[in-house]
Chains A and B, each alone.
Chain A
Amino acid sequence: MRRLKYHQAISEGTVQAMERDDNVFCAGIAVDYPSGIFGTTAEALERFGKARVFDTPAMENAFTGICIGAAAMGKRPIMVHPRNDFMFLAFDQLINLAAKWRYMYGGNAGSVPVVVRAVIGRGWGQGATHSQSLQAPLAHFPGMTVLMPATPRDAKGLLLSACRHDGPVVILEHRALYGVEGEVPEEPAETPIGSAAVPREGRDVTIVATSVMTQEALSAAEELDRHGVAAEVVDLRTIRPLDEETILASARKTGRVIVADTSWELCGVASEVAALCVEKAFHHLKAPVRRLAPADCPAPVSLSLERVFYPRASTIARLALHVVGANPELVGEIDKEDTFKGPY
């Protein structure tokens, strides 16, 4: 099958979503810059022009409200936050209104199909306010759909599904994934919302992962294989609604679960998945469920501190060896070099 990079897949998904529905438009800070949000909006701009791909002032909260009001009139906005930390400013509109719209008006006010794309940064000194990962606070609220594609195929497929979904959807894209290459169907193939994937099967230990941690988990699984440990990787893809069945089937199969998330443990997605396994697969577990998340402090800037802040493939592999009762020190140098060169 044809291969694309993650950012090319988003671009193609955007173009196809706009082609099949005239009501789709794409707006946000910098979407019409030549750089086009890592190249994800440039082709849409070229094809559909500034009437449907347009820049906005810095007004995260009001513009989210504007997207809601446009959606209430039949539009399907795709709003883009180049840095997802700025989305905190839009939480009133997203949480107090968009997520509740259908329910709070008893289904009588229609729906507000707003798609919000937001980019997570990591490394190269992004620091405390340019590196956060907002899936947990967003997924907390009923009515919200939260997606975290980890592969080019799902980056396109989930965007296409989001553009047909009957309510607000936040898609968290990880900057470290934009250069990842993978097979992507040329046709507008949707990835279903609410379904996790199992990109690698194994019998010894399950690694449930979100976003870029899925790629880290796949690297870890290769290393584990060299040590005779067969790891199964579950890529959550959707945070809300959570695909409990796929997670539990894997937990019951391997009896050992590690959850690797891009955000902190406390009240986080890793904790949620761990609680699920303990509640509903307890009698199948052979070891305590383990969570793997960034260190419990704001993201630092200095390279020496970043190295110990973020869990990587080697961290996952070491923990997996520990969980199966093997020697964690066997893990070699498997972490891929971060090729990001700035300037932002």
Chain B
Amino acid sequence: MALLRVRHTEETIAARYCAQEMRTPTHLGTGQEAVAVGVATALRKDDAVYSHHRCHNHYLACGGSVYRLAAELYGRVDGCSRGRGGSVHLTDRDNGFIASSAILGETVAVATGSALAFKMDGQDRVAVSFFGEAACEEGIFYESLNYAAINALPIIYICENNLYSTESPLAVRQPAGTELCARAQSFMVAAEKVDGNDVAAVYLAARRAVARARAGQGPSFVECFTYRWREHVGPQFDHEVGRSYRGKAEFDAWMERCPVKRSAARLAEMGLAGADELATRSGEVEREIAEIFDRARKAPWPEPESLFDHA
């Protein structure tokens, strides 16, 4: 259900984005839902989650309100950041989603700091940092891993490797044969690779990392292979707008590995839910979300005199 909620929210945004009512650069996470949902399922509400520019999935998987996300995108006062943050600056502290930020690698360090606070206070809470593989090209990533390893901090670094940074492929960003897990291991950080489109596999890997962190055994790095369906920022498909940095055949192959469909097939196999039942439920979620967006669109604007609030 969490997967459906994330998928339909992102797809609803994509469908409405061109109406020019959501005036905020939006990086949709369609296709990458299993990473967020798998990890969030392994967490407690008092853990601390941080994310990056493509953050809706993580916010929603932690339990974030669809209404408050939609209102934020519409620039309304009911938004999770009261219309001050936009798509890339979300927060929902009640559900453990502390903050997302648009600068690559920035929150990797911040999450590490929350883990330091937990360790200093002797708490068994863990911090989680979501980032894309391009953050592994930023120096701050290595500074953070190094520090977490020295101090055995309770943090889980979740790398969403979707192969592209904006439109730049791995080939121009990392030497051929690069293994990000090996880089993490060279900092004495436990690392494993996982199929990021398999929600159960992600959950199990996250659960191992969480257990390690809670037991005081230090940081973990989990590299989740996945694929972003839509363009870097905005609602369109690259092949539909003539971009050539990745081909339609590659896109189609990843569509075959759709995390939502795979999850549905798994549920059917296990006899937990039939195709009809899932289709019905999916339709319900879709309608529910459409209604929420309609409501958010009508929410009040922030008052102009509130410009300096929280400044």
User: Which residues of chain A have a CB within 8 Å of any CB of chain B?
Assistant: 25, 51, 56-57, 59, 61-75, 92-93, 96-97, 101-110, 142-143
Contact = CB atoms under 8 A, between A and B. Distances in A.
Nearest to A77: B113
B123 to A, nearest CB: 9
Interface of B: 48, 50, 79-85, 89-93, 98-99, 101, 103, 106-118, 120, 127, 139-140, 143-144, 146-147, 150, 309-311
Given A56-B147, A106-B82, A106-B84, A143 B110 contact: no
Given A66-B144, A103-B310, 5 more contacts: A63-B143, A65-B144, A69-B110, A73-B113, A75-B117
B85 A69 contact: no
Nearest to A98: B110
Contact of A62 (B92, B114, B143): B143
B28 to A, nearest CB: 21
A102 B308 CA distance: 11
B106 A69 contact: no
A69 B309 contact: no
A106 B81 contact: yes
A284 B99 CA distance: 49
Given A59-B143, A62-B143, A106-B81, A93 B106 contact: yes
Contacts of A74: 117
B109 A93 contact: yes
A96 B116 contact: no
A61 B106 CA distance: 9
A70 B117 contact: yes
A101 B310 CA distance: 9
A62 B109 contact: yes
A62 B187 CA distance: 15
Contacts of B117: 69-70, 73-75
B116 A70 contact: yes
Interface centre among A25, A72, A102 (most CB of B within 10 A): A72
B299 to A, nearest CB: 13
Given A51-B120, A72-B99, A104-B85, A57 B147 contact: yes
B109 A102 contact: no
22 contacts: A25-B120, A61-B109, A61-B139, A62-B109, A63-B109, A63-B147, A65-B106, A66-B110, A69-B48, A69-B110, A69-B116, A70-B117, A72-B114, A73-B113, A73-B118, A93-B110, A103-B310, A104-B81, A104-B89, A105-B81, A108-B80, A109-B93
Contacts of B99: 72, 101, 105, 109
B83 A68 contact: no
B103 A143 contact: no
A110 B101 CA distance: 15
Contact of B85 (A70, A106, A110): A106
B311 A105 contact: no
A106 B71 CA distance: 13
A96 B109 CA distance: 13
Contact of B310 (A51, A56, A59, A102): A102
Interface centre among A68, A74, A75, A104 (most CB of B within 10 A): A104
Contacts of B89: 104-105
A108 B139 CA distance: 29
B168 to A, nearest CB: 21
A56 B109 CA distance: 14
A109 B72 CA distance: 14
A73 B48 contact: yes
A198 B100 CA distance: 43
A38 B101 CA distance: 37
Given A25-B120, A107-B309, A73 B112 contact: no
Contacts of A69: 48, 50, 109-117, 127
B140 A97 contact: no
Contacts of A68: 109-110, 113
Nearest to B72: A106
A64 B93 CA distance: 21
A72 B85 contact: no
A96 B110 CA distance: 12
B116 A62 contact: no
